[in-house]
């Protein structure tokens, strides 16, 4: 696919890809939390993973592994995780430190206000918030779910590689009109997932991900989350002559 364009870029007869197309794919990605039931073909999933495997990694170590779940396999995992979530007997996963650094905390609060606001859930309504979190384990109704794992001996730089792999996958999906939501929520239920997916010992769950077509009518898919401006997070040095 696209071999003529790739060849043109590699041989220099075309100096760059169309930035407009690439930027549009990147900018159009959002975390989707309500999906249409429309099927995604296995061929499309394989093609997306085939693009994602070109992601860079430290010394080309490629630390990512992925279980791709569909149909009964996805349903069975969702049911087991749904039960574990309701039973609430797995220790909470502290995926962010408490307290958060101030800048991160204000963005997190903004996210919480928009997300629970869209769902009509009051900040203090713990039970409704827990039910909303539970939707993660149904992959938000998406027809395909991913569980990403990593050899537990690997360190933070390999987790960084996994993050790059995830974004590459999400962009390859977006380029095909598909949508995703990366989901750290799954990591809390590592033991349930290990048992259900028969994970090899010594592997950690990095996160999950939903894949499918967005339900564009759902308010939860229209959060329009803001970002810091370039001036707020970048420091430029040595550009003044």
Ligand X SMILES: Cc1cc2nc3c(=O)[nH]c(=O)nc-3n(C[C@H](O)[C@H](O)[C@H](O)COP(=O)(O)O)c2cc1C
User: Is there a contact between 35 and 213 (Cβ–Cβ < 8 Å)?
Assistant: yes
Q: How far is the CB of 7 from ligand X (least distance, A)?
A: 33
> CA-to-CA distance for 119 and 121, rounded, in angstroms?
5
Q: Between 22 and 41, name the residue whose CB sits nearer to ligand X.
A: 22
CA distances in angstroms from 27 to 70, 147, 165, 226, 227, listed in the order given: 28, 25, 17, 12, 12
CA distance linking residue 137 with residue 85, whole number of Å: 9
Find, among 208, 232, 235, the residue nearest to 67 by Cα.
208
Q: Which residues here bind ligand X, judged by CB under 6 A?
A: 30-31, 33, 111, 136, 181-185, 207, 225
Phi and psi based region of residue 96 (left: phi greater than 0; alpha: psi -120 to 50; beta: remaining): beta
User: Which is nearer to ligand X, 30 or 129 (by Cβ)?
Assistant: 30
Q: In DSSP terms, which residues pair with 214 in a beta bridge?
A: 35
Least gap, CB of 191 to ligand X (angstroms): 17
Q: Which is nearer to ligand X, 136 or 158 (CB)?
A: 136
User: Which of residues 169 and 182 has its CB atom nearest to ligand X in the complex?
Assistant: 182
Q: At what angle do helices 190-197 and 71-87 cross, to 10 degrees?
A: 150
Cβ nearer to ligand X, comparing 40 with 140: 140
From the CB of 163, what's the least distance to ligand X, in Å?
7
CB of 26 to ligand X, least distance (A): 11
CB nearer ligand X, residue 47 or residue 138: 138
Could you give the CA distance from residue 207 to residue 188 in angstroms, rounded to a whole number?
9
Minimum distance, C-beta of residue 118 to ligand X, in the bound complex (Å): 12
């Amino acid at each position: 696919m696209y071999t003529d364009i790739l060849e043109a870029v590699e041989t220099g007869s075309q100096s760059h890809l169309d930035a407009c197309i690439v930027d549009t794919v990147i900018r159009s990605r959002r975390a989707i939390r309500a999906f249409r039931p429309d099927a995604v073909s296995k061929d499309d999933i394989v093609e997306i993973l085939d693009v994602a495997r070109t992601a860079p990694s430290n010394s080309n170590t490629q630390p990512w592994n992925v279980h791709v779940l569909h149909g009964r396999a996805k349903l069975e995992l969702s049911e087991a995780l749904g039960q574990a979530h309701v039973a609430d007997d797995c220790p909470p996963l502290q995926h962010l430190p408490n307290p958060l650094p101030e800048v991160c905390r204000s963005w997190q609060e903004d996210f919480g206000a928009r997300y629970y606001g869209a769902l009509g859930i009051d900040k203090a309504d713990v039970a409704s918030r827990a039910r909303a979190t539970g939707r993660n384990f149904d992959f938000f109704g998406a027809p395909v779910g991913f569980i990403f794992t990593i050899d537990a001996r690997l360190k933070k730089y390999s987790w960084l590689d996994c993050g790059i792999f995830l974004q590459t996958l999400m962009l390859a999906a977006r380029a095909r009109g598909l949508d995703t939501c990366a989901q750290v929520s799954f990591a809390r239920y590592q033991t349930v997932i290990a048992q259900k997916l028969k994970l090899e010992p010594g592997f950690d769950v990095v996160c999950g991900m939903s894949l499918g077509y967005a339900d564009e009518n759902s308010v939860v898919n229209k959060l329009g989350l803001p970002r810091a401006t370039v001036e707020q997070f970048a420091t430029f040095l040595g550009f003044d002559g």
